[in-house]
Structure 1
């Protein structure tokens, strides 16, 4: 080890350790949520074939698109809870918790309605008749699961913000097992349950999400960890102002998440125009990329919580170190996953399909492309987490809008059709958008850290570090 490396490791050893302690349970919980979609696709692909797999993938992508505003928007609550906790304000934590549940209920009604409307207009996406029929029915069931999903997300913000991320991890892993069990039971039929085919997979997701919401609320109200924040005298405190704060910060944050998710969802639609084989192959590759992305979002969530806690303690140096540690951890992890995608792409595809050489060949090439954009994806999501910890949400929203909708989507279409690069062209466009977002958001974070006034939250000129 060189002398230049030793000070870095010595300086950030504690930062790495704390970020890992916080992020690993969040990563596992995030993985559990994504793996539910992966589980659905694995069961559907193995038991029903390529066309239902493409339909389930399309419905899952578009349903996740509808929920992304709520899921992304609610994530700001953990940072606000962390800040209030570090300012010794238990009443403020209670108001944020109750406000978060109110906002989750409101968003589930609005987004669920939009999801149903989208389901009844699937013909707009230009897919084949069979894919359209299957995806529409699948998405209608997923729309009903938005309420328990957002209630779970809102409740887990209290646990994450107070540094109890293992709660969501345990509940999500339990739900993953429930989802896998009922996927098999409902798809094939077992005992008193009839074979429901593709719709059985959607029902399994609905049951799993309902379990997650109920288990999370039961844990919060029945354990001593949260007693100081759930005192009876806090129940009468108004939380309307906190609800507006969550909406004011959460909606731009949710739109940031939406623009990225929408890019990948619309990429599914573009690939669907190329053919059913390309659609199934794209779904396999994007499932794998989604798994690694959600791992990076765990580090991003830890960054948001640790940065906001440092803001609550009014320590610029701690803000800086929390951000740097998260970036270094994300780059290290995504470098490993990139290597796996680039060297084991053929084997990874066989986990999904074994009897369709045309789909498997396309999917193997797309997994290689997924390997190339691992670093950009990991950097941009951690930058977003750090900015969320600083309550900086408006400019990042514009950056993601430009990167994904002005650059990535148009370039994907041009490369896929006029340039004749097929599905690989779509993924090159996605890589370009992610890379631009990574550069701009990282620059924004470190510039913001240098200039933010930690006492007022406003921007000042030439503020020193430390």
Structure 2
């Protein structure tokens, strides 16, 4: 048994890695836009605009994460239909995904703008409140092209062509960096827009992403079999409802985690501007590794769903185990880097503020400690999404983050006077509980799922 299973597991590991790496790079490119904004703002404009940009990016991502977390279910459904050789269903899922993206972008964009106009509720300093509000209004507009891109890329990912999104995202990242520099400082015919120039750079790069992805899908020969004219008359409303029914709980799961970190930003902001800037630096780094782990999670969902389509329980188990192994390995490396190079990493963001550097260096160590919990819980969520198990995981994340992490963060930061470190200890507790419960849920579902 061991001699046959070992090659199978190695094959699964290699296949998961091959699928994961382009998805990871694409996911990393999306979050690196926020990191790029913060790097340019911190270097060119200083600590207060950095805090405002970080706050606006955090809340904008919070608004978008329902859509970003909901739409990947399309890739899992496409993968399942492809394993059953059903191009008509794939066509309907693609069109339905775009409809859901349009609906979600309108709703979430409106909520994002409403939140921006009520930034004063979060008790930040007047200067940060004003800068963050204007920054977030521009980001609200960019939700439409972002979600269209996310919806369209699910066709590529589900059919195992993840390099398409990877290439487009990396190109957009370069565009974002270029226009950050040009629009913040001004160059040639472009005026110096300061902090708002960074937000406009993100809007331009996301618009490029959506346009390039749709243009490629409709022009590439590899997708013609799924986009035949006779398929376009097939109704997709039922598929849109299926995506909403399976995707929105997944989006809410993502929301609960991101909301926890966004509200942690608010709690840290109550401690002071230096703590807020330091927190933004550390959370940016943790966001990078987290989004890379979500790439492994997406690969897990695609491969688990394909195994379900084939009716293979053993295939489901192997796909899940390979994803867990990859995530634990990667996050262990990230933890080692955070723990040993914390000060050097902070100096990439800011050099002229010793108070911020000292606080951020300690927070990066905390970020290193919770890497494993973060990687395990997100892969468990991907595996459960591949099994179409979305409701109980949503409740688990709600409990872990809003019942445990947030209250504990506040208590440790203020009554126990642990300052920003206390907030991160609370986050670590919530992530660890989520990792344990979601992993148990996944393996229990694999054992009992009906594959008929």
Give the TM-score of the pair, scaled to structure 1.
Answer: 0.96
Structure 2 equivalent of residue 321 of structure 1: 318
* Match for residue 234 of structure 2 among 226, 231, 237: 237
Distance in 1, matches of 2:191 and 2:144, equals: 26
1:12 positional shift: 1.1
Confirm whether residue 187 of structure 1 aligns to residue 173 of structure 2: no
Pair 1:148 & 2:149 matched: no
The correspondence for 1:107, drawn from 91, 104, 109, is 104
> Aligned residue for 1:89?
86
Q: Is 1:36 equivalent to 2:21 in the alignment?
A: no
> What's the offset of the Cα at 1:258?
0.2
Point out where structure 1 has 5 or more consecutive residues left out of the alignment. Answer: 456-466
Residue among 214, 218, 221 paired with 1:221: 218
Aligned to 1:409: 406
CA distance in 1, matches of 2:47, 2:451: 53
Distance 1:9 1:404 in 2: 37
Distance 1:423 1:157, change over 3 A: same
Deviation at 1:8, TM superposition (A): 6.5
- Structure 2 CA distance for aligned equivalents of residues 31 and 262 of structure 1: 19
1:386 is matched with which residue? 383
Corresponding residue for 2:335?
Answer: 338
Partner of 2:255: 258
Asked if 1:432 corresponds to 2:429, the answer is yes
Partner of 1:131: 128
**Cα distance in 1 for residues equivalent to 2:326 and 2:109:** 36
How many Å separate the matches in 1 of 2:118 and 2:32?
Answer: 27
Q: What is the distance in 2 between the residues matched to 1:48 and 1:383?
A: 40
State the partner residue of 1:16. 13
Q: Determine the structure 2 residue equivalent to 1:353.
A: 350
Which of 208, 211, 214 is 1:211 aligned to? Answer: 208
**CA distance in structure 1 between the partners assigned to 2:129 and 2:192 by the alignment:** 21
Match of 2:290 in 1: 293
Alpha-carbon displacement from aligned partner over 1:82-131 (angstroms, at most 9, x marks no partner): 00111111000000000000000000000000000000000000000000
Task: Provide the residue aligned with 1:69 in structure 2.
Answer: 66
Q: Deviations over 1:18-55 (max 9, x none)?
A: 00110000000011001100000000000000000000
Give CA-to-partner distance per residue, 1:222-250, whole Å, 9 cap, x none.
00110110000001000000000000011
Alpha-carbon deviation of 1:260?
0.3
Provide the secondary structure at the position in 2 that maps to 1:235: helix
Q: Distance in 2 between matches of 1:170 and 1:101?
A: 21
Q: How far apart, CA to CA, are the structure 2 residues paired with 1:44 and 1:182?
A: 12
SS of the equivalent of 1:127 reads: coil
- State the alpha-carbon separation in 2 of the partners of residues 341 and 232 from structure 1: 51
Distance 2:112 2:6 in 1: 48
Any stretches of 5+ residues in structure 2 without a counterpart? none
Pick the aligned partner of 1:98 from 95, 100, 115.
95
In the TM superposition, structure 1's runs of 4+ consecutive aligned residues that sit over 4 Å from their partners are: 6-9
Give SS of 1:331's match.
helix
1:50 correspondence with 2:47: yes
The Cα of 1:75 is off from its aligned counterpart by 1.0
Q: Matched residues in 1 for 2:398 and 2:238: separation?
A: 28
Q: Give distance in 1, aligned partners of 2:226 and 2:429.
A: 45
Are residues 1:302 and 2:299 paired? yes
**Does residue 246 of structure 1 match 2:243?**
yes
What is the SS of the residue equivalent to 1:355? coil
Cα distance between partner residues in 2 of 1:228 and 1:271:
52
Aligned to 2:447: 450
Deviations along 1:51-83, one digit per CA (max 9) or x if unpaired, are 000000000000000001011010111000000
Give the match for residue 281 of structure 2: 284
- 1:300-342 per-residue CA deviation (whole Å, 9 max, x = no partner) reads 0000000000000000000000000100110011011101100
Post-superposition offset of 1:348: 0.5
Distance (whole Å) between structure 1 residues aligned to residue 247 and residue 28 of structure 2: 22
Q: 1:8 to 1:311 in 2, by over 3 A?
A: closer
